[in-house]
Amino acid sequence: MTRTTLQALIAAALLPTLAACGGHGGDDDARVEMHTLRITVANLTANQPLSPVLVSLHRSGAPWTAGMPASSGLERLAEGGDGTALAAELAAQGGIVDATGSAPVGPGAGDSFELSYPAAEDAQLSLATMLVNTNDAFSGLSALPVGAMAAGDRQQFVLAAWDAGTEANSEAAGTIPGPADGGTGFDPQRDDPLDAVRLHAGVVSRDDGLADSTLGSKFRFDNPVLRVTVERVR
């Protein structure tokens, strides 16, 4: 038997095996189950615009815990409305996919997102947005389990405002980043003596006795401030 004939026989024998291996990999890829969540957000306040909303699917971690100090990422969002650092923190703790709204959400307005991801039983949804006519008020969801939701399942939440505990609620001119003042947003110096995430006590305003406040009573808000609907659409 010639060398050429032997090589041809070996190649012919291996061909079905190689084809089977290639087909098996393709089947695995085709079997990856994708889920899609639709998240809809509504601003329930009368005069508090919300910063562009951050939504994140991740497998571990949480953007905040009541009674504990805020992370630097949450501080940046709650003081200045920028969710970039918070998204990076969640991504580093088992991130799956995230998205951020393209614009602020005005009073009475809303925004929506669709997140598609490989099925994961341990998937958690977090959402965060700042009430921008405040020092460091924010609202959202912290590590909501969504991995077991079936197609067609729907959950709705009405949510209160949280205080990040990173900036004193002075309401002073120059400290409010929203349109009511146009002041400074994030400041790395923390001057809230409690330094812990907690429910927000609300805006006081100069009309109600806080003499140095740059905010009028129209910027006060009652809870809840946010409505969030989570649906698994696929």
Sign of CA dihedral 88, 42, 227, 132: positive
What pLDDT, in 10s, does the model give residues 159-182?
Answer: 999 999 999 999 999 999 999 999
For residue 163, the number of C-alpha atoms closer than 13 Å in the C-beta half-sphere is: 20
pLDDT at 32: 83
| Beta strands 162-163 and 137-145, pairing class | antiparallel
| Average pLDDT of every residue of the chain | 90
Q: What backbone phi and psi angles, to 5 degrees, belong to 16?
A: -60, -40
What does 16-74 look like in DSSP terms, one character per residue?
HHHHHHHHHHHHHHHT--EEEEEEEEEE--SS--BPPPEEEEESS--S--TTSPPPHHH
Q: What is the dihedral of CA 169, 133, 42, 103, to 10 degrees?
A: -130
pLDDT at 12: 43
Question: Distance between CA atoms of 203 and 132, rounded to whole angstroms?
Answer: 12
Q: Are 63 and 116 in contact (CB under 8 A)?
A: no
Question: Distance between CA atoms of 42 and 227, rounded to whole angstroms?
Answer: 5
pLDDT at 15: 40
Residues sharing a CB contact under 8 Å with residue 55, sequence separation 6 or more, in sequence order:
39, 98, 99, 100, 113, 115, 125, 126, 127
Question: Starting from the edge strand earliest in sequence, which strands make up the sheet with 154-159, in order?
Answer: 110-118, 34-43, 226-232, 154-159
What pLDDT, in 10s, does the model give residues 198-220?
Answer: 999 999 999 999 999 999 999 99
pTM of the model: 0.86
Question: Distance between CA atoms of 181 and 172, rounded to whole angstroms?
Answer: 9
What six digits make up the tokens of 37?
A: 């969540």
pLDDT at 13: 42
Q: How many helices (H) and strands (E) does the chain have?
A: 3, 10
